[in-house]
Amino acid sequence: MPAVAVIGAQWGDEGKGKVVDILAEHADIVVRFQGGNNAGHTLVVGDETTVVHLIPSGVLQGKMCVIGNGVVVDPWVLIEERDALRSRGLLEGDDQLKISDRAHLILPYHRAVDAARERIRGGGALGTTGRGIGPTYEDKMSREGLRFADLMDVKSFPDLLENGIDRRNRYLTDVLSAEPVDYKQMLDDCNRVRDQLGAHVTDTSVFLDKSMSSGRRLLFEGGQGTMLDIDHGTYPFVTSSNTVSGAIATGAGVAPNRIGTVVGMCKAYTTRVGAGPFPTELNDEDGERLRKDGGEFGATTGRPRRCGWFDAVLVRQAARLNGLDGLAVTKLDVLTGFEKIKVCTSYDLDGERIESFPASRTAVNRIVPNYEELPGWSEPLERARSLDDLPANARRYVKCLEDLTGVPSFLVSVGARRTETIILRNPFAS
């Protein structure tokens, strides 16, 4: 049975939530495999807007949701999100949400370390979401993290927690000059988490394997975007997980040859939140206009997003790294009214043409983007349901993105609502 993945091809916030919500109609199970509640997906259905951070966006379609082992989970955020969805009649049965017993817990000391480090970095801050994501992945890699399987082990958990807290408190107070966390309070809180979430905890790799073997359709939902990948992104201005499609195998416990079609998400322009290089950034009224018309404020932190022209170099890089079969291009409607629209086709670095993002953190600041200029359009696009409904220049723009990235469009989004979408190809049918 086909499994489909939706992966961010830029710096996150490409509109994955909306597209996963649409594609989830054809899936049985929606799976997250990396990141945590640094992600934020805004879903608009009818007049209701829902933001989910941890629970896969397929939840609004009433599909089974899985949080894989590669995700770092703040259990208090998860409880709040689950309960809010339950009050709307979703996720009512415990088996509608499954959490990997190998997923790592984000605990209050991780958040405290994240905040203190950013404070100390001052002007050199990474602009993290402050959710404790990095420190939790650090503990995972240094083999000092706590997993749901540990939480479920009533006898050994108090000692494991105490060990972690002693070490972290020393680091918080002595190195970061921050407040320590209270062990007793945290143990009580964790015991309550066990009662609240225990029924969802299972070996999700085994569950997904059986599900695929019995013909159920899986949809993998990426968090963040390719340029925030810890290896392939704009290091060090990246998140702490691998965000590319290869991470599905490790982060969901699903063999790579069972992942079928990969859909790359990109906006019709580019945005990023937080610090770091951004070659096509617009620090002028065009950038201001994209931010205002596109409502470019973070779903998780509310921060204004930096905005710029579409960068085909990035999306080509994403096509290579993820094996993109198709693009889902979002927010085309936001470009309505621009007389001319620019698209970055390549970069120059120290007088030489380059076709991919350099690794050097100093070289990235010397990139000079090369642009192609296309004519804009003035007609609103929200009612378009096929490419033929678009003005000729908007069609030409979409075609230009396909040609420059070498990837065909599967979907073009022309508004926030589910219905404001042009579907060209259903990845579950390919």
Binding site for ligand IMP (CB under 6 A): 12-13, 38-40, 126-129, 131, 133-134, 223-224, 228, 237, 239-240, 273-274
Cα–Cα distance measured from residue 80 to residue 59, given in angstroms and rounded to the nearest whole number: 15
Q: DSSP characters for 381-416? A: -TT--SGGGS-HHHHHHHHHHHHHHT--EEEEE-SS
Instruction: CB nearer to ligand IMP: give 207 or 278.
Output: 278
Does the annotation mark 41 as catalytic? yes
Residue 324 near residue 407 (C-beta atoms within 8 A): yes
Instruction: CB nearer to ligand IMP: give 38 or 280.
Output: 38
Residue with tokens 């905005």: 307
Is the peptide bond between 2 and the residue preceding it cis, with omega within 30 degrees of 0?
no
Residue nearest to ligand IMP (CB): 274
Q: DSSP characters for 225-268? A: -GGG-TTTSSTTSS-SS--STHHHHHHHT--GGG--EEEEEEES
Least Cβ distance, residue 110 to ligand IMP (angstroms): 11
Return the structure tokens found at 49: 């807007």
Instruction: CB nearer to ligand IMP: give 38 or 421.
Output: 38
What is the CB neighbour count within 10 angstroms for residue 46? 8
Residue 300's nearest CA partner among 71, 39, 11 is 39
Q: Which residues contact 9 (CB under 8 A, 6 or more apart)?
A: 225, 226, 264, 265, 266, 314, 315, 318, 319, 322, 324, 327
Least Cβ distance, residue 39 to ligand IMP (angstroms): 4
Instruction: Give the CA dihedral 159, 163, 164, 170, nearest 10 degrees.
Output: 150
Residue 40's nearest CA partner among 57, 52, 27 is 52
Instruction: CB nearer to ligand IMP: give 63 or 306.
Output: 306
Pairing of strands 340-349, 310-311: parallel
Residue 253 near residue 103 (C-beta atoms within 8 A): no
Least Cβ distance, residue 315 to ligand IMP (angstroms): 16
Catalytic residue among 13, 74, 139, 325: 13
Least Cβ distance, residue 224 to ligand IMP (angstroms): 5
Instruction: CB nearer to ligand IMP: give 101 or 296.
Output: 296
Pairing of strands 261-267, 72-73: unpaired
Residue 242's nearest CA partner among 2, 8, 65, 421 is 8
* Category of 389 on φ-ψ map: left (φ > 0), alpha (ψ -120 to 50) or beta: alpha
The helix (H) or strand (E) run that includes residue 194 is helix 183-197
Least Cβ distance, residue 239 to ligand IMP (angstroms): 3
Catalytic residue among 41, 110, 200, 232: 41
Least Cβ distance, residue 62 to ligand IMP (angstroms): 24
Instruction: CB nearer to ligand IMP: give 239 or 413.
Output: 239
Least Cβ distance, residue 321 to ligand IMP (angstroms): 17
Does the annotation mark 200 as catalytic? no
Least Cβ distance, residue 124 to ligand IMP (angstroms): 13
As to burial, measured by CB atoms within 10 angstroms (0-12 exposed, 13-18 middle, 19+ buried), residue 149 is middle
Instruction: CB nearer to ligand IMP: give 135 or 398.
Output: 135
Instruction: CB nearer to ligand IMP: give 45 or 51.
Output: 51
Residue 37 near residue 300 (C-beta atoms within 8 A): yes
Q: Which residues are catalytic?
A: 13, 41
